[in-house]
Structure 1
């Protein structure tokens, strides 16, 4: 079918698209690597002429031009569903605001709970022969957002990978209001973390708990990367993927033949993900790869789907864990770090999977600039720290000193286990604090 007439009728410049925004509007900047580029530059030139604008997005990989244009944020407020790197600095400076989420519910937020978008803008692939623009590299919640937007704009970029195999991973031209033929910027990449020796020690404890045919969810960072590297060196086989974020570790394991998905109970042979971010090699691997399955996050992170997969292994990192087993992965006191994301989704899902295991990984301690050691296993989380996983849902915890299973353990038992994998220099102090809290038995000594 020839879509050229419709296409031409919907073409608009980035400058004219930016002028569609009116005072009081909500502007949705999509998600991850496909947040708008040309539109953002044009909108930055208009933002000081507007008032009471709300802009929202998540997993931002760059500081948008609108922040430079309005340095005091007098004309817009910015809400982030999950803040990394640059946006983290803006949140802590009071120039952007984090919106707490349970990631699996984000599509439902758009459909039932939050203000609809007056203008939704996303980068996407060039139109295909069927009139579709693909945004499968960040399927996430975009289809739900599009359904609940007054104006939908696609910024075409030939460098956007085409994420296939799933559903709600594209928009048809009939549902697009305007098309910007963009300047085709390269996809933003995330440098592959380099695990240190302590990360590698943690990784070995986790990998020893994995089994052939397991389905994996791996997060991002030095520890998850070390675990991916350790799996690549192991004898494990027929692993599967069902994750929210598709990361470089999966590419490494796929090319090594370790990931086949042949033992998955659902979506057999498919690597399921909600969005991806990483190296150019990762983007090239995703592009037109039918083995991968780009799907909305309510499917990828859904309890029903995760629990249906036998031997589901959820692997995430944390900042701190207290002696109750409460996990923090998103803030340190009132200092914002990232966001809750889907950590709780996968902790709960893996916990309910037949043979499933949820791993919380962290280094036992950190050393500050003055050379003082601070334990990452703490008596209680400091005031203002936001818990990501409740103590009732914490399963396995691993540091460089070992791995412990907290499932079904009383407070004194989990206290003993957690102190056993704390840094030796802080164990006595943790015992003293546990005694004050009445969660330490004298017989433990």
Structure 2
């Protein structure tokens, strides 16, 4: 049932009528409801704890979350999944630990398709209740989704009942989809105003520096940046801030601290973008107070839903899209896994497919998947991350026909337009030197190796 915004002459009075304790608000949730929690930093901490206390009164309540920044009590309290079924569609460290303990499930989807997927759900599967953290209401009756536009704007359209949990620390972020009117809300909860998650400044290895160095050499004036999650994209951001490139733009899924650092050096202007000229475009932000203070009431920042930010056909309207993402493994055919090691889910695909695909469509664009060439396994053996083939059950995040540049500490290769033997040759050239001979033997068995190339 779509919630239609109504004209309300006294928003503050309406607010007071709907203001309740979390324990009262969650009474709106009934057995067999489909509940959508706010994602990332809009996770509803107070309401989640209150709902967990109602476990014995409810059954088969399915709760969808994304990239958890707080531990959901509804998952902890019911390992049998009889009362609550918790699902995440992009894992964080918290999500991985819960999944490893059998407390959480995963929902695969590409980010740019999420709105369409939800809108096409049958009535029996669509969300019926939304619970989301927002910034305080303004004098006109509008809350704001703050750091997390993402799926939140879809809630009033989809759900029958909507609960908001107010956090005074949530910044107010511009973007036409990032507002929610009091008339669209059924219950208001004033939480304990926890400080937003702080992602600490990361330390980088010599390998990180080498990989980042290869990537930054590919950067041109006027490029439009997307930096993915993880230490490597952040290190790339730091090196960009120290470079001499100019007139950069930003159209990204996740906004992180390094974008603020690059902007403060004067290298980001957003003026050479084709669309949203002059603006940072993103769908969610996570970092430190430096970032949250930067986006608060900043007219240069535009939060938008992922069916816009992550649509490859929208992204590619900008020239020189420059996408940097991390991955876990690459096989000799060019298939990339960024999400799982075998059946163990590590992360989600996020916007990696969307932006790598868009980077090749973009005029002058470049898309990079980065990884360390090797790691030490649990027995202390040096093990290649460039492998003959992905292990069974491993998720393929980038099919081989989408993969663009692959980067390790030993170099950078472009797989576009390359036959299988050449892909194998180039990928082995950036594998760890001690592991290359074994990879050649595997390539020979797979019949994707030219003997004349082994000199």
TM-score class, shorter: over 0.9
Pick from 36, 41, 46 the counterpart of residue 33 of structure 1: 41
Note the 1:127-276 alignment, pairs <5 A. Answer: 127-164=137-174, 166-276=175-285
CA RMSD of aligned residues (A): 1.2
1:91 aligned residue: 99
2:42–2:132 CA contact under 8 A, matched in 1: yes
1:228–1:250 CA contact under 8 A, matched in 2: yes
- Offset of 1:101 from its aligned partner? 0.6
1:347 aligned residue: 356
C-alpha offsets along residues 269-314 of structure 1, whole Å, 9 cap, x if unaligned? 1000001111122111111111111001110001221110000011
1:63 aligned residue: 71
1:281 aligned residue: 290
Q: CA separation in 2, counterparts of 1:411 and 1:227? A: 30
Q: CA separation in 2, counterparts of 1:185 and 1:116? A: 30
- Offset of 1:69 from its aligned partner? 2.7
Note the 1:291-370 alignment, pairs <5 A. Answer: 291-370=300-379
Moved more, 311-320 or 338-347: 338-347
Q: CA separation in 1, counterparts of 2:408 and 2:364? A: 22
- 1:442 matches 2:451: yes
Q: CA separation in 2, counterparts of 1:174 and 1:3? A: 8
SS in 2 for 1:363: coil
Q: Scaled by the length of structure 1, what TM-score is found?
A: 0.97
Gaps of 5+ in 1: none
2:394 aligned residue: 385
SS in 1 for 2:120: helix
Gaps of 5+ in 2: 1-8
C-alpha offsets along residues 333-379 of structure 1, whole Å, 9 cap, x if unaligned? 01110111111111111110000011011110111243210100001
Q: CA separation in 2, counterparts of 1:195 and 1:25? A: 45
1:18 aligned residue: 26
Pick from 420, 427, 438 the counterpart of residue 418 of structure 1: 427
- Offset of 1:212 from its aligned partner? 0.5
- Offset of 1:93 from its aligned partner? 2.5
Q: CA separation in 2, counterparts of 1:385 and 1:191? A: 30
SS in 1 for 2:418: coil
Pick from 107, 114, 137 the counterpart of residue 115 of structure 2: 107
Q: CA separation in 2, counterparts of 1:15 and 1:418? A: 56
SS in 1 for 2:129: strand
Q: CA separation in 2, counterparts of 1:129 and 1:221? A: 38
1:193–1:221 CA contact under 8 A, matched in 2: no
Q: Scaled by the length of structure 2, what TM-score is found?
A: 0.95
- Offset of 1:321 from its aligned partner? 0.3
- Offset of 1:408 from its aligned partner? 0.5
